[in-house]
Structure 1
Amino acid sequence: MYVIAYDVGTTGVKCCLFSLSAGQRIKLVAGELADYDLYVLENGGVEQDPYQWWQAMCDTTGVLLKRTGIPKEEIRGISFCAQMQAVVLVDQDGQPVRNAMSYMDNRGKKQMEQGLQRGLKVMGMNVRKLLRSVMISGAVSASVKDPLWKYKWVQENEPEVFARVHKWLDVKDYLVCRATGSFVMSRDSAFATLLYDTRRGREGFSREICSMMGVDMAHLPEICECSDQAGAVTEKAAEELGLAAGTPVFSGGGDASLIGVGAGAVAAGATHIYMGTSGWVSTVVEKQRLDVSSMIASIVGADPKRFNCFAELETAGKCLEWARDHIGLDELGIFKEKKFAYEDSESRQKNIYGYIMEKISDVPAGSNGVLFTPWLHGNRCPFEDPDARGMFFNLGIETTAPDMIHAVIEGVCLHLKWQLRAMEKHTKTSETIRFAGGGALAQLTCRILADVLGRRVETVDNPQNAGAVGAAAVMAVGLNVISSIEEIEQMIPVNGVYEPRPENTAVYEELFEVFQELYKKNRRNFGRMNKRS
């Protein structure tokens, strides 16, 4: 049977057509890409236009069906994997009342101070609110980028807009609403609001936390499972999408939930690392763990019986994209030799990055003494600091562009190592790491990650589509192709293995200490340099 999964990322959507069969691997038949805007504002705001998400979804669906020749009636379901912790506020008709506020939006500093940092405090937070939030949800809205403070920012700064709000949705939940007319939110999206009660038998939005934080519970939608059918494509949506009216729409999940599923890291204790625009380290656990000081929490995932111990890096692959655009690319010859050699956006990206990897492949471990910090838009874990920024350390007159770009990849991997070390204080991680995201397409990045971590790294087919594969996998559960999330591992085989090279691991272990000190010794200066009104 055929299904369509939409991978809704930070800067674009990929529409993927999959074939599902019991006992067989999930097969990617074809995919289409479309980009949309990301608006970075001077006050710390980061926004997107939800109508662009929908238009990109419609455009890619139409092109995909036309190119493959698959009749729309043969599509047995659609689902989503999407960026998380955005705030999409909609009216009674499901129309956005303002632009969506991205997970990267950090303008709610004042609201967080008012809501969490007044009164008797411990670790900088109100004792009562901290303890009750942790007891109820296993987490607390301790980051300025958490959705609660975006919601409160709109309430305080845009009261006329706020008065029109009917429901608070996340990215893929808005798209489900647009396709079906249903206001629903999967459990992982609900947990990501940090207003969710995770205690056994009490799962759902917490009235106590909402009251404590000043959230109107009427704004919160119904909750469903990732594998549940949330509705069916309406006549209007069918006309716009080019699908058959009545096509089942499955809720799907957030990227933090489904990329691990798509990478086959679903067993208890399995650890995966993701390197896309953002990045993270995640381990499947049986019980919730929380480390407020390191900003590591156990989040609700696609499997209702387990959690994902999760540490996030705001900018991972985005750092390499920045390096591509801003560090001496003419020196590498990209503009002169390669710029016009591509047929579409996906092949263009592959060719550009493949060419970069070729040009930096001879740079030794340690990038000839250059270190890079990947905090281009602040950082969450293992330290929360929206003022932290990227830097190159130890540049010399002999430093080259390849050295610097190689250092960018190493810097991302060193930060992921820092997160992995912080996670291991509370839970056991797996000796073999599944690696997913666009970063896993490059053998050089895979080797650097294995060397930096000192662990075996495994990749799967189409690692850049792991989120879409995860969305297809939960549809397989919803369509009764398989009976549970645990069976997915057999449908996603390994296709690449990278062993750490001891001589390189030794170099990175020494550099790791310096890397950590770069933040500790510059924390105050970041605050001085990046003051916001």
Structure 2
Amino acid sequence: MSEYVLAADFGTSSLKLGLFNEKLEKKYTAPGRYLYKTFSKKIGWVEQDPREWWITFKKAVRDVMKKYGVKKEEIVSINVGAHMGLVCIDKNGKPLRPSILFFDQRSVGQCEKLSQKVCDEEVFKICGNRISTVQTVTQIMWLKENEPEVYEKTFKFMIAPGYIAYLLTGESSYDWTHASWSLLFDIRKREWSEKMFNLFNISMEKFPETMPSYKVLGNLTQNAAKEIGLCPGTPVMVGGSDTPLAALAENVVDKNRALITAGSVSSVITCTDVPNFSSTLLNRCHVVPDRWLMQGAMNAHSNVFEWLIRELYLKEGESLSSEIFEKVEDEIKHSPVGSNNLIFLPYLAGERSPIWDPYARGVIFGLSFHHSRGDIMRALYEGTAYAARHNLEVIESLGAKIDSFRIVGGGVKSRIWNQIKADILGKKIVVGKNSADGSMLGSAILAAYGVGWIKSLFEIKLDDESVTVFLPRTRVWQKYTKLFELYKSLYLS
């Protein structure tokens, strides 16, 4: 009988789910696209329905099992990775409201109030992070002020992977990778901080126990097994955040190893074994023991690309196709390095690292009648890479010595964008065999570890014979360095 681990990756807009064998080869992927709606009742709000995640997950599991004739007895372990979405459940495990996602901006006012009342340095010393809308505590404080009945009725606050794992096992948990971004967690001791709960006047009883991602949380219950069509008793891992899981998949598990995520939003990440952090970055526990990730998190990447495509290329009712994507890339090829002196500040939704300004807005600087659509699109590609370099400067100022980046996410499909990143960062960019599905592979690695297929999370062997490498070009890097200084000055002017 064959054996597989089931790995799920809940991205910001869709679910990827796959079955992997003991060699961590992806044998089967759930067919079709498993989308869930993202909605915004007000400007700056970003929400999803947790119940839709569960419906999507159940369908994907049944679809992949049926399509490939896999027997339920062949699934030996389950892991769920996901984005950061706050879930409020009642005593019956039912969501009380839609999930608030990590890039939701509604708690800007709470952040400003907290910064006036609370010592930022004290918070940073314990939590390793600054007060911002990303941090769960600011969203909870918004709930206390604006939806007090929801706060009072909340039995447990959870994050997306913990919620799905709870439905699978009946056990509640809050993994370290997400707890790191709560401002209620001591990032060095890896435990809830009673001092922070008291400081923010939040009830600790409303939070599950914190746990490492690599721990087995529990076993599949009878009811959950019936719903998804698997065997009761199947081990389920605690799970974790999609970004650390992608880092695990690319073997970014030791100091000076680095990763770029290229999805709807983007991050520049490096691993460290010493929790020496900068408050201009987002810092968190890794999914592996005794490691942390320093993350320059940006609000813009493919989301801005898709917006520009809609505005500049698509007719009403038309959707992005491979033909249109090829046309866009061809026009970008005909735009020179520097986009004919066009600079794009990609702050359409404000910005996180390193400027931390929710009120920042996008700028296309230097636009004139002689510029083409291709120039504007190339300027966008370059602008997101400048933002990455801005964060890299902070990371390297802390002593990190990075000579190359692994890269993951849907954005790796653009060879032009990859080369632009290499040229602007001045670093080698490596696209691996599984780069497009990094978080799902990382999820599979944790599931395999839980069932004993892997003895150490520090010894993941990559298939480096199948990589594509983009090397920085010295003269191009020199030109981009001058334009990068202009890019930074535009925000300040």
Quickly name the TM-score band, shorter chain normalised.
Answer: over 0.9
What residue is the counterpart of 1:343 in the other structure? none
What residue is the counterpart of 1:175 in the other structure? 164
What count of residue pairs does the alignment treat as equivalent? 490
What residue is the counterpart of 1:526 in the other structure? none
What residue is the counterpart of 1:317 in the other structure? 302
**Is the counterpart of residue 328 in structure 1 residue 313 in structure 2?**
yes
Q: Deviations over 1:293-338 (max 9, x none)?
A: xx2143101112111111100121211111222223469xx95xxx
Equivalent AA in structure 2 for residue 309 of structure 1: M
SS of residue paired to 2:205: helix
Tell me the distance in 1 between the aligned counterparts of 2:324 and 2:234. 38
What residue is the counterpart of 1:4 in the other structure? 6
Give the direction of change, closer, same or farther, for the CA distance of 1:6–1:487 in structure 2 (3 Å limit). Answer: same
Tell me the distance in 1 between the aligned counterparts of 2:461 and 2:41. 41
Give the direction of change, closer, same or farther, for the CA distance of 1:448–1:471 in structure 2 (3 Å limit). Answer: same
Give the direction of change, closer, same or farther, for the CA distance of 1:220–1:228 in structure 2 (3 Å limit). Answer: same
Tell me the distance in 1 between the aligned counterparts of 2:420 and 2:282. 27
Tell me the distance in 2 between the aligned counterparts of 1:297 and 1:289. 12
Tell me the distance in 1 between the aligned counterparts of 2:325 and 2:251. 25
Q: Which residue, out of 283, 288, 292, partners 1:298?
A: 283
What residue is the counterpart of 1:308 in the other structure? 293
SS of residue paired to 2:438: helix
Tell me the distance in 1 between the aligned counterparts of 2:324 and 2:289. 40
Q: Please, which runs of 5 or more residues in structure 1 have no aligned partner? A: 119-125, 340-347, 522-533
User: How far is the alpha carbon of 1:205 from its aligned partner?
Assistant: 0.4
Superposition pairs of residues 317-396 of structure 1, within 5 angstroms: 317-329=302-314, 352-396=324-368
Equivalent AA in structure 2 for residue 488 of structure 1: I
What residue is the counterpart of 2:121 in the other structure? 131
SS of residue paired to 2:467: strand
**Is the counterpart of residue 27 in structure 1 residue 29 in structure 2?**
no
Deviates more, 1:25-34 or 1:509-518: 25-34
Tell me the distance in 1 between the aligned counterparts of 2:121 and 2:345. 33
What residue is the counterpart of 2:54 in the other structure? 54
Give the direction of change, closer, same or farther, for the CA distance of 1:31–1:508 in structure 2 (3 Å limit). Answer: farther
SS of residue paired to 1:172: helix
What residue is the counterpart of 2:422 in the other structure? 450
Residue pair 1:266, 1:489 contacting (<8 A) in 2 also = no
**Is the counterpart of residue 110 in structure 1 residue 116 in structure 2?**
no
TM-score by length of 1: 0.87
Give the direction of change, closer, same or farther, for the CA distance of 1:468–1:77 in structure 2 (3 Å limit). Answer: same
SS of residue paired to 1:41: coil
Superposition pairs of residues 247-258 of structure 1, within 5 angstroms: 247-258=234-245
Tell me the distance in 1 between the aligned counterparts of 2:327 and 2:252. 30
Give the direction of change, closer, same or farther, for the CA distance of 1:434–1:28 in structure 2 (3 Å limit). Answer: farther
Tell me the distance in 1 between the aligned counterparts of 2:216 and 2:90. 23
User: How far is the alpha carbon of 1:513 from its aligned partner?
Assistant: 1.2
**Is the counterpart of residue 463 in structure 1 residue 468 in structure 2?**
no
User: How far is the alpha carbon of 1:110 from its aligned partner?
Assistant: 2.6
What residue is the counterpart of 2:19 in the other structure? 17
Equivalent AA in structure 2 for residue 300 of structure 1: C
Give the direction of change, closer, same or farther, for the CA distance of 1:71–1:350 in structure 2 (3 Å limit). Answer: farther
Q: Deviations over 1:340-393 (max 9, x none)?
A: xxxxxxxx7666534532443232211222221222211111111111122222
Give the direction of change, closer, same or farther, for the CA distance of 1:3–1:494 in structure 2 (3 Å limit). Answer: same
RMSD between aligned alpha carbons? 2.1
User: How far is the alpha carbon of 1:171 from its aligned partner?
Assistant: 1.0
Give the direction of change, closer, same or farther, for the CA distance of 1:353–1:233 in structure 2 (3 Å limit). Answer: farther
Tell me the distance in 2 between the aligned counterparts of 1:447 and 1:168. 42
Equivalent AA in structure 2 for residue 484 of structure 1: S
Tell me the distance in 1 between the aligned counterparts of 2:213 and 2:464. 19
Residue pair 2:127, 2:187 contacting (<8 A) in 1 also = yes
Residue pair 1:265, 1:489 contacting (<8 A) in 2 also = no
What residue is the counterpart of 2:396 in the other structure? 424
Residue pair 2:282, 2:297 contacting (<8 A) in 1 also = no
What residue is the counterpart of 2:472 in the other structure? 500
Superposition pairs of residues 483-494 of structure 1, within 5 angstroms: 483-490=455-462
Deviates more, 1:159-168 or 1:104-113: 104-113
Superposition pairs of residues 176-255 of structure 1, within 5 angstroms: 176-199=165-188, 202-255=189-242
What residue is the counterpart of 1:528 in the other structure? none
Give the direction of change, closer, same or farther, for the CA distance of 1:38–1:305 in structure 2 (3 Å limit). Answer: same
Residue pair 1:26, 1:491 contacting (<8 A) in 2 also = no
Residue pair 2:77, 2:450 contacting (<8 A) in 1 also = no
Q: Which residue, out of 259, 274, 277, partners 2:261?
A: 274
Residue pair 2:30, 2:61 contacting (<8 A) in 1 also = no
User: How far is the alpha carbon of 1:491 from its aligned partner?
Assistant: 6.3
Equivalent AA in structure 1 for residue 40 of structure 2: V
TM-score by length of 2: 0.94
User: How far is the alpha carbon of 1:102 from its aligned partner?
Assistant: 0.7
User: How far is the alpha carbon of 1:289 from its aligned partner?
Assistant: 2.3
What residue is the counterpart of 1:524 in the other structure? none
User: How far is the alpha carbon of 1:490 from its aligned partner?
Assistant: 4.1
Tell me the distance in 1 between the aligned counterparts of 2:412 and 2:4. 26
Superposition pairs of residues 67-82 of structure 1, within 5 angstroms: 67-82=67-82
Equivalent AA in structure 1 for residue 89 of structure 2: V
Equivalent AA in structure 2 for residue 91 of structure 1: D
Equivalent AA in structure 1 for residue 389 of structure 2: K
Give the direction of change, closer, same or farther, for the CA distance of 1:3–1:256 in structure 2 (3 Å limit). Answer: same
